[in-house]
Amino acid sequence: MIQRRLWLVVVAAMAMAGCSTATNSPSSGANSPGKVGGDLTIWVDAARLPVAQAYAKAHPGVHADIVTFDGDGNGATTLQTKIQLWNRTGKGWPDVIFSEQVNDPVWMAQKPFDFAAPVKDLIPQDVLARWPASSTAQCTINGTQYCVQDNLAQVVLWVNKKLMDQFHYAVPKTWQEWASLGEKVAREHPGYIVGNIGDSFSHWIYLWGNQCPLSQVNGTSVQIAATDSHCTRVAGLLDPLIKNGTVPPLSVFTPDFAQKYGGADDKVLLMPGPSWYAQAVFDQALHMPAKQITAAPPLQWENETPVTTGQVGGGPWIMSRHSTNLTTAADFVTWATTEFNPSGAESRPGYPAYAPLATKWLEQQAANPYYAADPTPALKAAADQIWPGWNLVSYPDQPVWSTSVVTELVAGKPLSSLLEPFGKALKQAAQAAGYAVN
Amino acid sequence: MRSTSTAEADAPAVGAGAPAARRRGGHTWPGLAFVGPYLPFLVAFGVLPMLYALWLAFTDDAGGWAGFRNFTRTIGDYRFLPAFGHVLLYTGVWLGSLVVLVVGLTLLLHGRANRVSSAFRFLFYIPGALAGASSVLVWLFMLDPTVSPGSFLVRNVFGSHLFVESIAPGKLPFIFAMIAFWTGAGGWIVIMYGALNTIPQELEDAARIDGAGPVTIALRIKLPLIRKWIAYMVILSFATGTQLFVEPQLVNQASLGLVPDTWSANQLAFQLAFRYADFNAAAAVSVDLLAIGLIAAALIVTRTGLFRTDD
């Protein structure tokens, strides 16, 4: 029976990865080193499928085999299990992978996975230099850069300008103003929300941005202090809002959320969230009409400076050290991150990490008729405010947050009481991944 | 890892089967001919992987003898006890409902007129046509109050107004047991019905003449005679139950990670092998499962006299 069950999983996995598409352009035969062309296997999530398809179309000499997968989103371990399998069989590695998980290069660069190829000699140094330093730092493991980020995922405050004007509310500048507005909304306009906390990445929005020390790496040890005052004060601020319904413990990607808060009469008044929310969440998931949403700068804690914010994503492109066609792989990654920039509805979902492309993208977004007001000043400002005190680790922390906090919030427990178990569960995950915890 | 798919191949004989068929010897060749095509598969996909797992479980990654270190190491893992706890609770709930409901429904059906009973047998069998992964996907919709055709039940019986409430950690063993019950129950009802059909009509008639009603006949005559079949169902289902994998794995993805990817013991073994590259630890967890399955089977076999041929 176990064989049958495993077989079913394989079938399910194949169905999920079933969108494998290959262009019909003739294969240019053997992969010759130093020349762009030949076979190229690319693994992407659904959001990155257009860029892979566009590259294949623009490069008829490249025989691209594009495979879509779950993207390793929400802390999945799809890629770890796949790479283990490829390593064991000694074949099957794709040439390029896009991961939704910003920490994936950390383990990909190390044993036992040993998958990622250093980018130094593959992409010219003058091109690499134009990624922001903080982005390059997240791709640098033990002194070597192993990836380039597709986009920056800085958290801003998304504002429904139409509703705010209609209700005569001022856009909050601090977390305290935001919280008191939440109390006010619960009284005056019940059913409307000022945020949400049910996503697998909600801790990156509320805790990362507020400097909660949950992921501070020092060599092979990691410091996890879930009951630090930076964490408890945020929990104390959020608990009344979770209770009064203005910050529901629901994921923005669930049908429940779309039904309750989305659509034409949307109930999202404010929402702290990453730069890619405009397209992926408000437009495509919630079907919020145009001319409603815009971005405001990240919220400040009282009058503390500098203002820091969180990050949700910043997905990296990783090339395989097993690839026999690294020239083409590098050409694709460079094209995808520095050139691909369609306009209109097909525009890139996130803020490009490559600075010159970000400038062009911001110009496009400023003129994008979907927004109620120009969101670009806030997005641009937030790009430099991501708190650097949160280091990337080899284990995913999203499942830990989901299973130890979100399920309990749904059951009605206050966040303040869940920080300690969350910290404990994070420590266990860190230790299982081989870190010393202090 | 082992194969439990011999279900139909070695089903026990029931009631007063022809005694000649039970005599050892003389009938070796036809027996071998039946078992022959299955044997290579049993060896290749059942016995050899099991031996490999045993070897891995008692060695370290360099191939040296490790004794019970892999076992103590995995038992100490913070996910080990929750995973086995989940699986045992699930298996208990599922087996309990399977035995009570399958046997109960079959006995009820067997007392009905033939046409009614075959219609019901077909009805019960239909959910089983949706095997494994697909039935989980259907159930995910059934349990989502916003889209479920039975949203009234989901809201008022389960008390779930949101999908995340439907798959709350405390409800999961029961949800998985329900999914497994409906995919498997129909098939077992058909098998049990077949078992009841082997009971000679004279026995029933004699009981009726002695004044036994339908309930007494069902409980005192029919039930003891299909005892071995029930034991057989419990053994196979116990093994299947402890090896739970597909259901929690799919719900893990569908819930965007709300259900841990090490919810069941088999998932933990999978993660240990393919995420931590610790095949020895994974093998140790598999051997734990094998041991639990074997102990349970041994208990049931000795308690019910499953293989006793002269009763």
Distance from CA of B309 to the nearest CA of A (A): 27
Q: How far is A158 from chain B (nearest CA, A)?
A: 23
| Same domain assignment for residues A263 and A408 | yes
Regarding whether A250 and A106 lie in a shared domain, the answer is: no
Say what the pLDDT of residue B20 is. Answer: 44
Residues A294 and A326 in one domain: no
Asked whether the predicted pLDDT for residue A321 surpasses 70, the reply is yes
Q: With pLDDT > 70 as the criterion, what percentage of chain B qualifies?
A: 90
CA distance B95 to chain A (A): 16
Chain A residue with the nearest C-alpha to that of B272: A81
- In tens, the pLDDT along A280-319 reads 999 999 999 999 999 999 999 999 999 999 999 899 999 9
Q: Is the N-terminal amide bond of A375 cis, ω within 30° of 0? A: no
Do B239 and A403 lie within an 8 Å CB cutoff?
no
**Residue A16 vs residue A216, higher pLDDT:** A216
The nearest CA of chain B is from the CA of A77 a distance in Å of 7
How far from the centroid of its chain's Cα atoms is residue A220's Cα? 24
- Looking at the fold, whether A324 and A297 belong to one and the same domain comes out as no
> Is A254 in contact with B256 (Cβ distance < 8 A)?
yes
Q: Looking at the structure, do residues A114 and A38 belong to the same domain, yes or no? A: yes
Q: What is the chain B residue with the closest CA to A77?
A: B275
Size of interface A-B (CB pairs under 8 A): 117
Residues A10 and A67 occupy one common structural domain: yes
CA distance A288 to chain B (A): 19
Which of A11, A255, A259 lies closest to B133 in CB terms?
A11
ipTM: 0.82
Chain B's closest residue to A405, CA to CA, is B258
Gap from B250 CA to chain A (nearest CA, Å): 8
Nearest in space to B13 (alpha carbons), one of B184, B226, B179, B201: B226
Stated pTM of the model: 0.85
Is there a contact between A81 and B162 if contact means CB atoms under 8 Å apart?
A: no
Is the pLDDT assigned to residue A14 strictly greater than 60?
no
* Residue A87 CA to its chain's centroid (Å): 27
Chain A interface residues facing chain B, Cβ-Cβ under 8 Å? 1-6, 8-9, 11-12, 70, 73-77, 80-81, 84-85, 112, 198-200, 249-251, 253-256, 259, 398-399, 402-403, 406-407, 410-411, 428, 432
* Chain B residue closest in CA terms to A199: B256
Nearest Cα neighbor of A69 from A40, A48, A39 is A48
Q: Find all residues with CB under 8 Å of A218, minimum gap 6, and list them.
A: none
Amino acid at position A262, single letter: G
What is the per-residue pLDDT for B275? 87
| pLDDT over 90 percentage in chain B | 33
Mutate to test the interface with A, among B38, B136, B258, B280 (most CBs of A within 10 A): B258
Are A283 and A430 in a shared domain?
Answer: yes
The pLDDT confidence band at residue A4, using thresholds 50, 70 and 90, is: very low
Q: Which of A1, A8, A255 sits opposite B144 (nearest CB)?
A: A255
CA distance A180 to A361: 35
Q: In a mutagenesis test of the A interface, which of B77, B136, B162, B237 is the best target, namely the one with the most A β-carbons within 10 Å?
A: B162
Both A11 and A109 in a single domain?
A: yes
A73 & A135 share domain? yes
What is the CATH number for A45?
3.40.190.10
Contacts of B260 in chain A (CB under 8 A): 399, 403
Q: Sheet harboring A155-160: ordered strands across?
A: A270-274, A155-160, A293-296
* CB contacts, 8 Å: A75 with chain B: 257
**What is the span of the domain harbouring residue A430?**
155-311+395-437
Quick one: pLDDT at residue A408?
Answer: 94
Instruction: Tell me the average pLDDT of chain A.
Output: 90
Which of A77, A255, A399 has the CB atom closest to B146's CB atom?
Answer: A255
- Note whether residue A371 is domain-resident: no
The residue-averaged pLDDT of A139-145 equals 94
Domain map (residue ranges) of chain B: 19-304
Contact A71, A17 (CB under 8 A): no
In 3D, which of A380, A398, A340 has the Cα closest to residue A102?
Answer: A398
Write the residue in B239, B249, B256 that is nearest to A251 by C-beta: B256
Report if residue A387 sits inside a domain: no
Q: Is A374 within a domain?
A: no
- State pLDDT tens for residues A190-226: 999 999 999 999 999 999 999 999 999 998 999 999 9
Residue B73 has a CB neighbour count (10 Å cut-off) of 16
State the nearest Cα–Cα gap between A144 and chain B, in angstroms: 23
Distance from the B211 Cα atom to the nearest Cα atom in chain A, whole angstroms: 45
Q: Rounded CA gap, A375 and B229, in Å?
A: 69
The answer for B159, left when phi > 0, alpha when psi is -120 to 50, beta otherwise, is: left
Please report whether residue A377 resides in a domain: no
Inform me whether the pLDDT recorded for A31 exceeds 70.
Answer: no
Of A113-122, A186-195, B6-15, which range is least confident? Answer: B6-15
Same domain, A167 and A106: no
Q: In terms of CA atoms, which chain A residue is nearest residue B73? A: A432
Tokens read off for B2? 């082992």
A83 and A141 housed in the same domain: yes
Task: Out of B164, B236, B246, name the one closest to residue A250 (CB).
Answer: B164
Substitution target in A2, A80, A428, A431 with the highest count of B β-carbons within 10 Å is A2
Question: How many domains is chain A partitioned into structurally?
Answer: 2
Cα dihedral A231, A233, A234, A236, rounded to 10, equals 120
Three-state secondary-structure class, residue B157: coil
Residue A89 pLDDT > 70, yes or no? Answer: yes
Domain B19-304: CATH architecture, name and number where available: Orthogonal Bundle (1.10)
Please name the residues in contact with A215: beta carbons below 8 A apart, sequence gap of 6 or more.
A222, A224, A390, A391, A392, A393, A397
Do A232 and A317 share a structural domain? no
**Which of B79, B243, B260 minimises the CB distance to A5?**
B243
Least Cα separation, residue A415 to chain B (angstroms): 16
Residue B21 above 50 pLDDT?
no
Across the interface, of B1, B147, B261, the residue whose CB is closest to A399 is B261
The beta-carbon neighbor of A411 closest among B168, B270, B275 is: B168
pLDDT in tens, B204-263: 889 889 888 888 888 888 888 888 889 889 988 998 899 999 889 989 988 888 899 999
The pLDDT tens digits for B90-124 are: 999 999 999 999 999 888 888 776 777 788 888 88
The Cα–Cα gap between B96 and A80 comes to: 37
Report the share of chain A in percent with pLDDT over 90: 81
A92 pLDDT more than 60: yes
Nearest CA in chain A to B77: A432
pLDDT (tens digit, 9 = 90+) per residue, A223-268? 999 999 999 999 999 999 999 999 999 999 988 899 899 987 789 9
